[in-house]
Amino acid sequence: MIGMQQIHGSYVVRVSQKDDGKIIENCDGLISNDPKVTLLVRVADCLPISLVDKKTHSFGLIHAGWRGLDKGIIKKAIDLMQKELRIKNSDLKISIGPHICQKHYEVGRDVFSKFTKYPEALLQKNNKLFLDLAKIAELQLINNGVKKENIKISKTCTFEGPSLPSFRRSKTSERILVKLNI
């Protein structure tokens, strides 16, 4: 099992069995094609994004909040998988796990303005601004050659799910642990 420090950045690392038991520093994305590896990510409101290409037996796991999405973590993960694991973007199957939904993800004007090229992910209501992180991720995935029909997005909102940890709801240090291997 290999985890990541998760600093809300965009650094993605290729790992293998030699990294077993490690937490990769300053990292928010892991990729591999080693069948003996399990990737780990911990989330409360951010997006846990898994990327799988069964043709090349390659897989990746990303931690993405607004900062990572703004810094291009999705493109960086896909580009690294393409370069090092020889995947085709159109073969990727994507799963976005439980995350905070738009109606509970209020942001300031500074954050809101970073995503104006994704108007379908923005909401202004009662003088408040809201982001749809999953929609931004979906649009970025499509812009990077992933087929829309290959993207599955969980409808479960961490803020609304009383059994799920949500930093926005309760400032908890608890996290959902997501594991991925193939």
Residue 182 scores a pLDDT above 90: no
Q: Does 154 map to a domain?
A: yes
Q: Does 128 map to a domain?
A: no
pLDDT band at 161 (very low <50, low <70, confident <90, very high): confident
Q: Does 48 map to a domain?
A: yes
* CATH code for position 159: 3.60.140.10
Identify the three-state secondary structure at position 171: coil
More confidently predicted of 177 and 73: 73
Taking the model in full, what pTM does it have?
Answer: 0.95
User: 11-67 pLDDT, tens per residue?
Assistant: 999 999 999 999 999 999 999 999 999 999 999 999 999 999 999 999 999 999 999
What is the domain range of residue 74?
A: 3-100+137-180
The sheet carrying 106-107 orders its strands as 106-107, 128-131, 122-125
Eight-class DSSP state of 164: S
Give the whole-angstrom CA distance, residue 152 versus residue 154. Answer: 7
User: 70-118 pLDDT, tens per residue?
Assistant: 999 999 999 999 999 999 999 999 999 999 999 999 999 999 999 999 9
The separation between CA 172 and the C-alpha centre of its own chain, rounded to angstroms, equals 20
**Type of residue found at 116:** T
Of 49, 108, 111, 56, the C-alpha closest to 82 is 56
Q: Does 77 map to a domain?
A: yes
Residue tagged 């990327």 (tokens): 51
Residue 122 scores a pLDDT above 90: yes
Task: Count structural domains, the chain.
Answer: 1
pLDDT band at 163 (very low <50, low <70, confident <90, very high): confident
Q: Does 55 map to a domain?
A: yes
pLDDT above 90 covers a percentage of the chain that reads: 89
Please spell the DSSP secondary structure of 71-105, one letter per residue: TTHHHHHHHHHHHHH---GGG-EEEE-SB--GGG-
